[in-house]
Amino acid sequence: MTSKFHYDLIALVIFAIVIAFGVPALMNYDGFELNTFARYLALAIASMALALSWGTAGLLNLGQAATFGMGSYAMAMHLKLRASDGLPDFMGWNNVSELPLIWVPFESLAFTLLAGLLIPAFIGGLTAVFMFRARIAGVFVAIITLAFLVAFQLLVINQQGMTGGQNGLTGLAQLSLPGWTVDPYSTGFYYLVAGCLTVALAIGVYLTHSKFGLILRAIREDADRTRFFGYNVATYQTAIFCLSAALAGWAGMLYTMVLEFASPTYMGVSFSLAIVIWCAVGGRESVIAAALGAIIVNMLEGRLSDVFVEGWHLMLGVIFVLVVMFMPRGIYGVITETAKRLHHPKRRHRKTDLQSSSTKQLETGQES
């Protein structure tokens, strides 16, 4: 535990206060606005989950959307069963006459919540064991997870009788917890999502500053050297992969509740790459920054698409390219660099000389 831990804790507390009090107050507790923002917060969990495996352990998981989708389908299956008396409607249309066995336990809410976390964790763990036992690293992790994602999405679409196919699971009930039916437009629901994000971030902050996080960073920097120190690299990598997958599943469950349906596009390549982009924009080194990245990009997307109906997609592309070129460490990097320079003005000249021209432009941009 370093003192950095305390500063991150302060950041986390302030972040939590802003999303708990600042944001709803600014929106006048309007149901629509809160619902929209709750969507961003759910996505922020997916983004921070990726920051754990990518930023901390250096494992770029392009299949993050697959585990996200598992969580969202787990929740959707439960809500679908609640909405239908007997067999869900789409099964009848696909000539499925009996509830498939894997659907049965989703009657229970407790099982659903557990499954939404544990199934992604288990599948994530399997892929991790499969890859890391063979010491697969770098770009190969990205490609294997990507291929897995494509195959998994195809499989889900293909099993139409079980998954609703291309349309996904629709016509869901609202989640009923003991004494509370969760209306996605309510302030209560917003707080539920905000609370989940805060807890997820707390876990993330704790982990990155624990010894576990330190070892992961060591693996990121040099896996062989860490191995020579006697650490079982594959075990650590698998652990963080599981955890990241579980968090993504958690995000998926909330996402289904916000949008009131589950779709195979949640497991699409473009969605998976979008998560990577959010994480990169925020800064992959910090879970809080990655969560912020998701919120900022989605807000920007919402805002741009509102104003420029024709050109918003193009603008997003331009922004991504600029961010990758000029902000290699994301918003987090800009902030830490600026802070460093403000506090070490003497070293400023030497530093600037060493930095690449791109960073220079970035920094002047920050000052003006």
Residue reference for tokens 């708990």: 20
Our CB check for other proteins shows the closer of 104 and 143 to be 143
- Smaller CB distance to other proteins: residue 108 or 235? 235
From CA 35, how far away is CA 71, in angstroms rounded?
A: 19
* Cβ atoms < 10 Å from Cβ of 261: 17
Asked whether position 193 contacts other proteins by CB under 8 A, the answer is no
Number of residues counted as binding other proteins (CB under 8 A): 106
Q: Which stretch binds other proteins (CB under 8 A): 5-13, 44-52, 100-108, 235-243?
A: 5-13
Residues 283-342 that bind other proteins (CB under 8 A): 286, 288-289, 292, 295-296, 299-300, 302-303, 305-307, 309-314, 316-321, 324-325, 328, 331-332, 335-336, 338-340, 342
* Nearer residue to other proteins within complex by CB, 108 or 317: 317
168 scored as a contact of other proteins (CB under 8 A): yes
Among positions 1, 110, 139, 177, the unique one binding other proteins when judged by CB under 8 A = 139
**Which of 81, 115, 172, 297 is in the footprint of other proteins by CB under 8 A?**
172
Our CB check for other proteins shows the closer of 72 and 226 to be 72
Task: State the distance between the two ends of the chain, measured CA to CA, in whole angstroms.
Answer: 37
Using rule CB under 8 A, residue 84 touches other proteins: no
Long-range contacts, 179-183 (Cβ 8 Å, 24+): 182/257
Query: How far lies 29's CA from each of 35, 190, 336, 350, in Å?
Result: 10, 10, 34, 50
Provide the greatest CA pair distance for the chain.
76
350 binds other proteins (CB under 8 A): no
For other proteins, the binding residue among 151, 188, 214, 221 (CB under 8 A) is: 151
Query: How far is Cα 187 from Cα 273, in angstroms, rounded to an integer?
Result: 31
Between CA 29 and CA 18 the distance in angstroms is: 14
Contact 275, 142 (CB under 8 A): no
Instruction: Give yes or no for residue 367 binding other proteins (CB under 8 A).
Output: no
